C-alpha cells in the first residue's frame, strides 16, 4: 500500500484527532503529519546576462550498473532537488548486478523516457566508459545508442568506445581525475588524454565529483579551454550521502548558463563552456563565468547609515545581499572595512567601511577560478 490519499474538504471543517490525525472513518486513521512533504525545491539563482542558470547533473548510477536504486528513484531525486536536466550514466564495463539485472546498456535510460518529460525534466542519454586508471573513466552524454561501446578494461588503454561516442556527436568529459592518488600518473595530463583531446573526443573534465574537488583539472580546463563539470556521481541515495540539515548543502552539479531550458541550449552552453561546478559551499569555474554568476547573485546596496566618531572620522554601513541559494564567503583584500563576510543562501549581512573610500576589494574564498586563485571582486561604494 503505497498510494497517498488526499482529502477533499466539503467546506471548512473536518473532524481530526487531538494530535493532528485525519479523521477516523470506518475504523481508519491516516497519519499524514508524519509524511515528508513531496515537493520540488526551487533553487533560486538569478539569470546571468540573459542566460538561464540550469541545474544539471550528468553523472549518476542505477541498479543497471553499480548503483543501488531503480532509475525512477534518480528521476524522483532530480525532481525534488530542483534540477533541470540529468543523465543516467551507468558503467558500460562494470555491472555487478548482472546475475540479476538486464545488461542492456540502453535500458536504464529507456525506462525514464516517458517519466522525465511528465515531470518537466530534461533527460539526456549517457554512458560511463570505464577504463583502468590512468586515465580512468569518461562520461559520454548526448549520445544516441550505448550498445556499440566496447567493454574493455585491459591494461592497455583502448580508445575505440570513446571515438564511437564522438562519432555519435557525444559531449565527452573525463571523470574525477585525481580520485586514486596512489596510482602513478592518475592525476596527470598523459599523452593518451592529449590524444583524445586533439581528436575532439574530450570536451570537459569533472572539476568536482561528489565530495571531491580536483583543482588541477580546473587549471587544465582554463588552459585548454575545456568545459568545467560538476556531478554527483551518485550510487547510493542523495539523501543518504548529503547532509540536508545544512541549508547550503546540495548535491554537486553543473550550473549551465543556457539561452533556454532545452536540451539544445544545454548542449550549446556545454560546447561553449558556459558552466560553473557547484558543490554546496564551493563554486569552481573559469573566471568569466564565476564572476558573472557572482555579480548576478550578490549586491552591495548604497550606504543606509553613517556614523560619526568623536575624532571626525565616519563609518558607513551597507547592506550586502545574497539573492541566490548559493553560498559565498568573502575576505577583504583591499580597503578598510569588514574583514570577512559570510553570505548564506538568501541572506543579508550588514558591513561597515571607513568613510572616504571609493571601493572595496574582496577575495571570494568560496570560489576557485584556478587551483590557487579565488575570484577577486571590487565593489564601488555609494
Footprint of a copy of itself on 75-94 (CB under 8 A): 76, 82
The piece of 123-131, 162-170, 222-230, 328-336 that touches a copy of itself (CB under 8 A) is: 328-336
Q: In what order do the strands lie in the sheet with 227-231?
A: 227-231, 204-209, 171-174, 137-141, 122-130, 85-88, 52-57, 253-258, 275-279, 282-285, 367-368
| Smallest separation, CB 17 to a copy of itself (Å) | 6
228 CB-near residues (< 8 Å, 6+ apart): 204, 205, 207, 218, 221, 254, 273, 275, 276, 277, 284, 285, 286, 289
| Smallest separation, CB 289 to a copy of itself (Å) | 20
216: contact with a copy of itself by CB under 8 A: yes
The piece of 50-58, 210-218, 269-277, 290-298 that touches a copy of itself (CB under 8 A) is: 210-218
Compute the C-alpha angle 20/21/25, nearest 5°. 145
194: contact with a copy of itself by CB under 8 A: no
Give the one residue of 169, 249, 334, 382 binding a copy of itself; rule: CB under 8 A.
249
Chain residues 42-71 in contact with a copy of itself, contact rule CB under 8 A: 42, 44, 63-64, 67-70
- Please state, in angstroms and rounded to a whole number, the distance separating the CA atoms of residues 58 and 56: 6
189: contact with a copy of itself by CB under 8 A: no
CB 141 within 8 A of CB 162: no
Secondary structure class of 254 (helix, strand, coil):
strand
- Taking the least distance from each CB to a copy of itself, the nearer of 57 and 233 is 233
The piece of 98-106, 146-154, 155-163, 165-173 that touches a copy of itself (CB under 8 A) is: 98-106
163: contact with a copy of itself by CB under 8 A: no
295: contact with a copy of itself by CB under 8 A: no
The piece of 19-27, 145-153, 189-197, 287-295 that touches a copy of itself (CB under 8 A) is: 19-27
Type and span of the H or E element at 73: helix 71-80
Q: List Cα–Cα distances, 157 to 93, 151, 185, 192, in angstroms.
A: 13, 12, 13, 8
17: contact with a copy of itself by CB under 8 A: yes
16: contact with a copy of itself by CB under 8 A: yes
| Smallest separation, CB 257 to a copy of itself (Å) | 21
Handedness of CA 333, 339, 344, 348 (dihedral sign): negative
- Whose cell is 543556457? That residue is 258
307: contact with a copy of itself by CB under 8 A: yes
154: contact with a copy of itself by CB under 8 A: no
Residue from 313, 276, 273 nearest 291 by CA: 276
245: contact with a copy of itself by CB under 8 A: yes
- Whose cell is 548604497? That residue is 302
Residues 329-358, one symbol each (x = binds a copy of itself by CB under 8 A, - = not), give x-xx------xx-xxx-xxxxx--------
- Taking the least distance from each CB to a copy of itself, the nearer of 42 and 358 is 42
| Backbone phi and psi for residue 166, each to the nearest 5 degrees, phi listed first | -60, -40
What's the distance, Cα to Cα, between the start and end of the chain in Å?
61
Give the one residue of 25, 147, 311, 358 binding a copy of itself; rule: CB under 8 A.
25
Give the one residue of 254, 275, 322, 367 binding a copy of itself; rule: CB under 8 A.
322
278: contact with a copy of itself by CB under 8 A: no
Q: List Cα–Cα distances, 86 to 6, 169, 252, 278, in angstroms.
A: 30, 18, 12, 15
| Smallest separation, CB 199 to a copy of itself (Å) | 26
- Please state, in angstroms and rounded to a whole number, the distance separating the CA atoms of residues 232 and 210: 4
Give the one residue of 173, 242, 362, 379 binding a copy of itself; rule: CB under 8 A.
242
Amino acid at each position: 500500500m503505497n498510494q497517498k490519499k488526499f482529502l477533499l474538504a466539503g467546506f471548512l471543517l473536518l473532524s481530526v484527532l487531538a494530535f493532528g490525525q485525519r479523521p477516523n472513518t470506518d475504523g481508519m486513521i491516516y497519519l499524514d503529519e508524519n509524511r515528508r512533504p513531496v515537493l520540488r525545491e526551487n533553487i533560486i539563482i538569478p539569470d546571468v546576462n540573459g542566460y538561464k542558470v540550469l541545474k544539471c547533473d550528468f553523472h549518476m548510477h542505477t541498479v543497471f550498473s553499480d548503483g543501488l536504486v531503480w532509475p525512477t528513484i534518480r528521476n524522483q531525486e532530480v525532481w525534488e532537488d530542483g534540477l533541470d536536466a540529468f543523465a543516467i550514466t551507468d558503467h558500460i564495463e562494470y555491472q555487478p548486478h548482472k546475475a540479476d539485472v538486464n545488461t542492456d546498456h540502453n535500458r536504464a535510460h529507456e525506462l525514464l523516457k516517458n517519466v522525465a518529460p511528465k515531470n518537466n525534466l530534461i533527460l539526456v542519454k549517457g554512458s560511463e566508459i570505464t577504463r583502468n586508471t590512468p586515465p580512468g573513466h569518461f562520461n559520454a552524454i548526448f549520445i544516441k545508442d550505448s550498445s556499440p561501446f566496447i567493454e574493455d578494461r585491459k591494461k592497455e588503454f583502448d580508445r575505440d568506445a570513446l571515438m564511437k561516442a564522438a562519432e555519435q556527436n557525444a559531449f565527452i568529459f573525463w571523470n574525477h581525475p585525481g580520485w586514486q592518488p596512489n596510482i602513478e600518473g592518475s592525476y596527470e595530463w598523459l599523452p593518451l588524454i592529449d590524444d583524445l583531446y586533439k581528436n575532439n573526443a574530450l570536451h570537459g573534465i569533472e572539476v568536482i565529483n561528489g565530495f571531491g574537488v580536483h583543482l588541477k583539472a580546473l587549471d587544465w580546463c582554463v588552459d585548454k579551454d575545456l568545459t568545467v563539470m560538476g556531478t554527483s556521481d551518485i550510487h547510493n541515495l542523495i539523501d543518504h550521502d548529503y547532509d540536508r540539515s545544512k541549508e547550503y548543502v546540495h548535491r554537486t552539479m553543473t550550473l549551465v548558463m543556457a539561452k533556454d531550458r532545452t536540451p539544445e541550449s544545454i548542449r550549446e552552453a556545454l560546447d561553449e563552456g558556459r558552466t560553473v561546478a557547484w558543490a554546496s559551499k564551493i563554486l569552481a569555474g573559469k573566471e568569466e563565468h564565476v564572476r558573472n554568476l557572482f555579480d548576478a547573485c550578490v549586491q552591495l546596496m548604497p550606504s543606509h547609515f553613517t556614523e560619526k566618531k568623536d575624532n571626525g572620522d565616519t563609518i558607513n554601513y551597507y547592506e550586502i545581499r545574497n539573492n541566490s541559494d548559493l553560498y559565498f564567503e568573502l575576505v577583504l583584500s583591499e580597503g578598510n572595512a569588514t574583514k570577512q563576510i559570510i553570505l548564506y543562501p538568501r541572506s543579508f549581512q550588514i558591513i561597515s567601511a571607513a568613510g572616504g573610500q571609493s571601493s572595496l576589494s574582496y577575495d571570494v574564498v568560496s570560489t576557485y577560478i584556478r587551483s590557487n586563485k579565488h575570484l577577486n571582486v571590487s565593489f564601488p561604494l555609494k
